[in-house]
Amino acid sequence: DNGDGGVRITGSKKTARVSGWSVRSALGLKDTLFTIEVNNEVGQQFKRRYRRLDGAPGKATSSVYPVPRGWDRPRGRAQDFRHGRMTWVKATDKVLWQWGRVLAHYDAQKREKSVLGMPASDTWGKRSYRGARYVNGVIVWSKDTGAHHVWGSFDDAYVRHGGVKGPLGLPLKRRDG
């Protein structure tokens, strides 16, 4: 809230501001000083995997939504959690959990709409590096090199040469020119 008073209501398509009195009246409250807490439940298609992960993704922070967002024919469904995102991929009927810097890099690339496409693995790796596979590539992160993605024919060559464990090692920042 920016201190303008009233209540800001945010929906999937629009945000509106209404007076506290309007909300109080609509909800039958005795005062305009109130708090609303939204608790999202773990989506039905994610519950089994969530239990197998022993709750590691943390509390759900969104409801379930189709991905990619805005597409007429979604390729899956996702739900955000305190520690990452779970995605059900329709093509493979798998639920994947991605988190941390790998997920942040994926989000920065425009997620499912990026050149990487839909997720194809959980976040994996050792303490020194983390990564995740996507339909069209891979993202690898390390403290020393940061997060980078490799895709297309470069990804094919990277995998053929052993990926992170091969002689090429961790991907580095692209050099232009």
**pLDDT per residue as tens digits for the range 96-113:** 999 999 999 999 999 999
> Which of 49-63, 145-159, 162-176 has maximum average pLDDT?
49-63
Mean pLDDT for 57-61 is: 94
> Which of 3-12, 91-100, 143-152 has maximum average pLDDT?
91-100
Q: Which helix (H) or strand (E) holds 150?
A: strand 146-151
Is the separation of the CB atoms in 99 and 82 below 8 Å? no
Spatial separation of the C-alpha atoms in residues 85 and 99, rounded to whole Å: 6
Q: Is the pLDDT of residue 16 over 90?
A: no
